[in-house]
């Protein structure tokens, strides 16, 4: 009879991934050892191997888990069948909110995907493409003429350029939260600089 998993097994795996993502994000995948992941997770190295066979398995789980959560987000918003502008704004809000709690995983995806084997990298990038395509559909629904002009995808990539690199300058103790920056991104993308409105917190401080 196969041995069952101990209670809390899945929670412990997620904790390990969170600790590994933080180490990979700040030290680099290559510079991080299994010993360091074990120490950061409060486990012995032998116990760590009970959850993940090696560092590479953690890298795959971090990258794949992150893009799958983004894909689920896109599908959930599309299922709401919102009007075009509301749909794009909701996609921006949801993805920026997701990044707020996944900055380490996003940095790993951005910087360490090159360490994945060809098959794993292609699978992860394939899901990334589906996420981008979901945003592209929202842009095209708002401006069908852009699709005909083959501009929907370039504009979508410009939008992702604003969002994907936030981790390089957004700080937990900074002047703006991810919740506050999301509508700014939407305003800037949809209406340009004149359309950007102050976050309520900043506007109240100036009143």
Does residue 3 form part of some domain? no
pLDDT tier for residue 202 given thresholds of 50, 70 and 90: very low
Domain holding 113, by residue range, is 9-206
Does residue 4 form part of some domain? no
Does residue 2 form part of some domain? no
Whether pLDDT at 168 is above 90: no
Please write the tens of the pLDDT for every residue from 37-63: 999 999 999 999 999 999 999 999 999
Sign of the Cα pseudo-torsion (76, 142, 137, 167, in order): negative
Please write the tens of the pLDDT for every residue from 67-90: 999 999 999 999 999 999 999 999
Whether pLDDT at 141 is above 90: yes
Whether pLDDT at 1 is above 90: no
How many domains are there within the chain? Answer: 1
Q: What is the CATH number of the domain that holds 118?
A: 1.10.357.10
If you average pLDDT over every residue of the chain, what do you get? 90
Does residue 65 form part of some domain? yes
DSSP codes, 114-182: GGS-HHHHHHHHHHHHHHHHHHHHHHHHH-HHHHHTT-HHHHHHHHHHHHHTGGGT--TTSSS-HHHHH
Whole-structure pTM value = 0.87
Does residue 1 form part of some domain? no
What is the DSSP-derived secondary structure letter of residue 193?
G
Does residue 39 form part of some domain? yes
Burial profile 127-157: b = 16 or more Cβ within 10 angstroms, e = fewer: bbeebbebbbbbbbbbbeebeeeeebbebbe
Chain centroid, CA 167 distance in Å: 10
């Amino acid at each position: 009879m196969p041995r069952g998993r101990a209670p809390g097994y899945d929670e412990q795996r997620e904790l390990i991934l969170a600790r590994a993502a933080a180490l990979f994000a700040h030290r680099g995948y290559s510079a991080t050892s299994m010993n360091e992941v074990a120490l950061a997770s409060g486990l012995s190295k032998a116990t760590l191997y009970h959850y993940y066979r090696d560092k590479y398995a953690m890298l795959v789980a971090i990258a794949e888990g992150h893009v799958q959560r983004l894909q689920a987000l896109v599908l959930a918003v599309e299922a709401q069948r919102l009007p075009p502008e509301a749909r794009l704004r909701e996609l921006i809000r949801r993805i920026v909110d997701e990044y707020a709690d996944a900055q380490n995983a996003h940095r790993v995806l951005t910087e360490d995907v090159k360490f994945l084997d060809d098959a794993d990298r292609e699978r992860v990038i394939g899901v990334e493409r589906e996420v981008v395509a979901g945003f592209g559909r929202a842009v095209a629904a708002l401006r069908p003429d852009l699709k005909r002009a083959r501009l929907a995808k370039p504009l979508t990539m410009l939008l992702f350029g604003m969002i994907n690199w936030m981790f390089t300058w957004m700080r937990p103790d900074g002047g703006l939260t991810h919740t506050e920056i999301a509508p700014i991104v939407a305003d800037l993308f949809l209406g340009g600089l004149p359309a950007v409105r102050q976050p309520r917190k900043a506007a109240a401080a100036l009143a």
